[in-house]
Amino acid sequence: MAASWEHFAHGADIGVRGRGDSLPEAFTGAALALTAAVTDPGRVVPKERIDVRCEAPSQDLLLVDWLNALVFEMSTRSMLFSRFEVTSDGRRLEAAAWGEAVDIARHEPAVEVKGATLTELAVQCDQAGRWCAQCVVDV
């Protein structure tokens, strides 16, 4: 099964959740949920590739670092991303993110994500072997 994503309610902020059959798939889903907090990922054309590398002492903190690396790239490059290829061993992550420059008229950005937080942070694998990676992002 491919990566999937969803949002969950959290006060004035937005919870992002990714699911997948592997840790990288769940992290991909969380990245798509991050984009979806701003715009419909289907509106973002994957034109330009950006490489991202992160390292953290735990899977949970790696998720926060990954999402914050994407927020940094989105902010400094004025880009949105819609396609991701992620590899990870749970402590290190290497990824490629494809996207394009923000087009206000086409993307109609709803919010600006300021960063991923430790709130409701969880990265876990259930008994069926399905991964879930989630946290709240500050908007």
User: Domain containing 87 — which CATH number?
Assistant: 3.55.10.10
pTM for this predicted structure? 0.96
Q: Tokens 């969803």 map to which residue?
A: 6
Residue % of the chain over a pLDDT of 70: 99
Name beta bridge partners: 98.
49, 83
Residue 22: DSSP 8-state: S
Phi, psi at 74, each rounded to 5°: -60, -45
pLDDT in tens, 121-135: 999 999 999 999 999
Average pLDDT, the chain: 96
3-state secondary structure 94-136: EEEEEEEECCHHHHCCCCCCCEECCCCCEEEECCCCCEEEEEE
pLDDT at res. 92: 98
Q: What is the pLDDT of residues 1-51, one digit of tens each?
A: 678 999 998 888 999 999 999 999 999 999 999 999 999 999 999 999 999
Number of domains in the chain: 1
Which domain covers residue 122, as residue numbers? Answer: 4-138
For the CA atoms of the chain, what is the radius of gyration?
14
Taking each helix axis from N to C end, the angle separating 59-77 and 23-38, rounded to the nearest 10 degrees, works out to 40
